[in-house]
Structure 1
Amino acid sequence: MGIHALVWTGGVDGQSLERAVRQSADSGYQVLELSLHDLEGMDATRTRRAAEDAGIELICSRGLAFDADVSSDDKEVVARGEALLQASLEMAESLGSRMLCGALYSALGKYGQPVSAQGRANAVEVIRRLADSAAKKGITLGIEVVNRYESNVINTAGQALSLIDEIGRDNLCVHLDTYHMNIEEADLVRPVIECGDRLGYVHIGENHRGYLGSGSIDFNAFFHALAGIGYQGPITFESFSSAVVARGLSNDLGIWRNLWSDSDDLARHAREFMGNQLHATQQMIRVQ
């Protein structure tokens, strides 16, 4: 089980991420996800050492911006996006991460029109080259499915599978997020089954991104679906509050209010909540 570093801190300096590693381990997590939104400010050596000492696995994630969008029709914009993705891959390797995930295929924001055929083709070509580079480093790319207000390229698990098929590389997997699924999918079960063994990473988040169980998402059905396909990958809790997330990133993510202010309490509650869900589904499988 994992937790996103933005539960603990909006900073990416060595001291901030050392604290995030320590707090994650103390709260019972085995994985810490790092957002690569500030490559220049990140201290990879110090963070990796802290994670290794604590027995924490690091997973990296990122989104793109409209001026560095690999799904753009503008070749210069696409080139900037590809350079950013390649730099992020290098950072992931430096951190010792085996996965780089997120909306790697477009800017993270609301578009005013559907993606063009050329834009989609550009994204496919860029991610194919990124996957080739990642394979040499032993890194898997997780293609995160996000909602219509954060991308016009992929909004459902089915679309993610189609994109992965088009890219045609073995080191890609689907990254599902219950927050986004709640908006776009008909239910929380069929997308999991549809992905099957191509599901490689999971985000657990409430519909309002606050405390798990305090919103409307049917986590019981989702965890049963994960058990049904025999999912063995990371399950990472993701939650944002403007009380913690850095202002610029908070604005990008649309975090306009403080859903919580006590990171420790939130993290421990999420760890217990997810643990209980996993335990219950495992018991049901044994009974059946």
Structure 2
Amino acid sequence: MPGFEAMAWPLAFVLSWQPTRFEAVTAVGDLERDLEGLRALGYAGVELAVRDPATVPVPSLKALLERCGLQVPAIGTGQAWVEEGLSLTHPDPAVRRAALARLEAHLELAAEWGALVIIGLIRGRRMEGVSRAQALDWLSEALVRLADRAASHRVRLAVEPLNRYETDLLNTVEEALSLIEPLGLSHVGVLLDTFHANIEEASLEGAIARVRDRLFHVHIADSNRWAPGWGHLDFDPVLKALREIGYRGWLSAEVLPQPSSEEARAQVVRWARGR
């Protein structure tokens, strides 16, 4: 895969396919201009955050991505929770079924590029009247069903630990692995996001060492969720830990579009070139 010569990993940037209230992604504006701009900066891929896959014109998007020379390493799904309240752990079984159906559509979309599907915010929060054990049981059942569908599409699932201010379910790598490992599903793994991990993990390097070959994808953002280099997170030990476990996936920038989306995209590249 193309990428920066100084980097061990190809670089992607997260764009939202649809307008969203989720602040840490930029919504697509002029799609062709956005994609050409990413490639001109040196990105190898674009991670797509998609609320509803039914809105994605796959043939034309594939043709445009091919012209721009960009890959799609992952499909984000959290906006189905942010915008519609779909959740795998909702007390209403109809909502849980709708969340599953939406994720199955995400898997079909991901299969177009061999991308992985992220299980982040769509797992929801523990709601009133639902015990933690019950919520995790529902989540486990959903992962087993989704994993079977993912296998048929030859794509993978990545569970993303999120910080405590966004969910009370699976905040750390250890908690994610405690759910995933007993299921025995080789194509279900973990996404590590440096912003969330910086809040929740005692050691980012320790979390990376613990997850090892279950690490399927990495989101990069600084301590303030701005582009790397614009906060106080020391990335050198993190990148060293990734090398030590032999990580061969992507680094995908999921950052606030601050001070502007264009400046954030350029800063990610400057940071990467400085590695």
Greater mean alpha carbon deviation, residues 153-162 or residues 33-42? 33-42
Q: Cα offset for 1:151?
A: 1.8
What does residue range 64-103 of structure 1 map to in structure 2 within 5 Å?
64-65=80-81, 67-94=85-112, 96-103=113-120
Distance in 1 of aligned mates of 2:116 and 2:160: 12
Residues 186 and 3 (structure 1), Cα distance of their counterparts in 2 relative to 1, 3 Å cut: same
What does residue range 216-231 of structure 1 map to in structure 2 within 5 Å?
216-231=232-247
Q: Cα offset for 1:47?
A: 1.4
The answer for unaligned runs of 5 or more in structure 1 is 242-258, 278-288
Of residues 181, 186, 189 in structure 2, which corresponds to 1:170? 186
Mapped pair 1:121 → 2:137: yes
Mapped pair 1:53 → 2:57: no
Distance in 2 of aligned mates of 1:177 and 1:45: 30
What does residue range 189-228 of structure 1 map to in structure 2 within 5 Å?
189-228=205-244
Match of 1:2 in 2: 12
Of residues 154, 174, 198 in structure 2, which corresponds to 1:138? 154
Q: Cα offset for 1:204?
A: 0.5
Residues 192 and 82 (structure 1), Cα distance of their counterparts in 2 relative to 1, 3 Å cut: same
Q: Cα offset for 1:92?
A: 2.0
Amino acid at match of 1:268: A
Amino acid at match of 2:271: F
Amino acid at match of 2:270: E
TM-score by length of 2: 0.84
Q: SS of 2:27's equivalent?
A: coil
Q: Cα offset for 1:8?
A: 8.4
Q: Cα offset for 1:269?
A: 2.1
Match of 1:281 in 2: none
Amino acid at match of 2:97: A
2:126, 2:135 within 8 Å by CA — same for their partners in 1?
Answer: no
Percent identity over the alignment? 30
Residues 222 and 110 (structure 1), Cα distance of their counterparts in 2 relative to 1, 3 Å cut: farther
Greater mean alpha carbon deviation, residues 212-221 or residues 60-69? 60-69
Distance in 2 of aligned mates of 1:145 and 1:87: 22
Distance in 2 of aligned mates of 1:44 and 1:115: 40
Aligned residues: 254
The answer for unaligned runs of 5 or more in structure 2 is 1-10, 17-23
